[in-house]
Amino acid sequence: MPTSMPMSTAELTTQKLLGMMINYGLTGSLIVQVFHYYCAFPNDWIVAKAAVYTVFFLELLHTGLMASSSYSLFGSGYGDVAGLPALASSWKTWFSGTVLTGLIAAIVQTFYAARLYSFSRSKFVAGMVMVLALLQCGSAMVEGAMLSFTDDGDRPSEPSRAPVPVLWLAGSALCDLIIAGTMTFYLRRSTPVSNRVKNRLSTLIRATIGTGTLTGK
């Protein structure tokens, strides 16, 4: 019979539950956004379509793996304290939490790097975004590889792992902030030819800030 959970374990599972619920909500928002994209841009550039639908598929895969882990944690394995380390080292946990996260972010950041170059013609700005995107993606892959070689209680020491997640998370946050800041700067600097274009630019700027600055974590 599963043993009762100590307070520290309850706090840990509460964080995971909140994270999963937020992810489900964001996935619903993503589905609506992709549907709007499909309806509004049926003849969009094929590369843009490939990027959108690839990210959409990877996000659905990420949510599905999280749902499976959620069922193991709060359903079939609820209250099983001894099974928590095995769940933490499960491939569904480290693959969705590190590899998929870094890969999805890199695809989006690379797409924005191309957009930034088309707006600014600045190889420095686009190159900086690309370097940070590759840095955070590589760090996420390394972090996932390190976690994949762990079993119950045989985890790498925190000092040896410390630089990897710092490079991953800090690189991703910095890249998102640079994208939000530079996109806003170049879009505001452009001169709209009509009020309709001006309104669309304002909407695009708000979307850039909302999806760039607020997700820079």
User: Does residue 209 sit in the same domain as residue 132?
Assistant: yes
Do residues 140 and 128 make contact, with C-beta atoms less than 8 angstroms apart?
Answer: no
Instruction: Return the closest-CA partner of residue 127 out of 178, 188, 170, 181.
Output: 178
User: Does residue 210 sit in the same domain as residue 153?
Assistant: yes
User: Does residue 117 sit in the same domain as residue 202?
Assistant: yes
User: Does residue 38 sit in the same domain as residue 110?
Assistant: no
Q: 153 — alpha (psi -120 to 50), left (phi > 0) or beta?
A: left
Give me the pLDDT at residue 186, please: 79
| Boundary residue ending a domain (25, 54, 88) | 88
Give me the pLDDT at residue 149, please: 73
Tens-place pLDDT, residues 96-149 = 888 999 999 999 999 889 888 887 888 898 999 999 999 999 999 998 888 777
Sign for the CA dihedral angle at 112, 103, 129, 214 comes to: positive
Residue 97 maps to a domain? no
Give me the pLDDT at residue 153, please: 42
> Domain range spanning residue 114?
102-217
Which residue stretches of the chain have pLDDT < 70? 1-12, 75-89, 150-162, 190-217
Instruction: Provide the token pair at 148.
Output: 């994949």
User: Does residue 73 sit in the same domain as residue 131?
Assistant: no
Residue 96 maps to a domain? no
Give me the pLDDT at residue 56, please: 93
User: Does residue 202 sit in the same domain as residue 125?
Assistant: yes
User: Does residue 178 sit in the same domain as residue 216?
Assistant: yes
> What is the distance between the alpha carbons of residues 158 and 171, in angstroms, rounded to a whole number?
19
User: Does residue 74 sit in the same domain as residue 124?
Assistant: no
Residue 75 maps to a domain? yes
Residue 166 maps to a domain? yes
Instruction: Provide the token pair at 161.
Output: 């792992």
Give me the pLDDT at residue 87, please: 62
Residues 6+ apart with CB under 8 A from 203: none
Residue 93 maps to a domain? no
| Boundary residue ending a domain (35, 56, 88) | 88
Residue 94 maps to a domain? no
**Where does 72-162 have alpha helices with state H?**
84-88, 91-94, 100-120, 123-148, 158-161
> What is the distance between the alpha carbons of residues 141 and 154, in angstroms, rounded to a whole number?
19
User: Does residue 77 sit in the same domain as residue 107?
Assistant: no
> What is the distance between the alpha carbons of residues 130 and 149, in angstroms, rounded to a whole number?
29
Give me the pLDDT at residue 115, please: 84
Gyration radius from the chain CA atoms: 20
State the distance between the two ends of the chain, measured CA to CA, in whole angstroms: 39
- Domains contained in the chain, number: 2
User: Does residue 78 sit in the same domain as residue 181?
Assistant: no
| Boundary residue ending a domain (88, 114, 138) | 88
pTM assigned to the model: 0.76
Instruction: Provide the token pair at 144.
Output: 């996932």
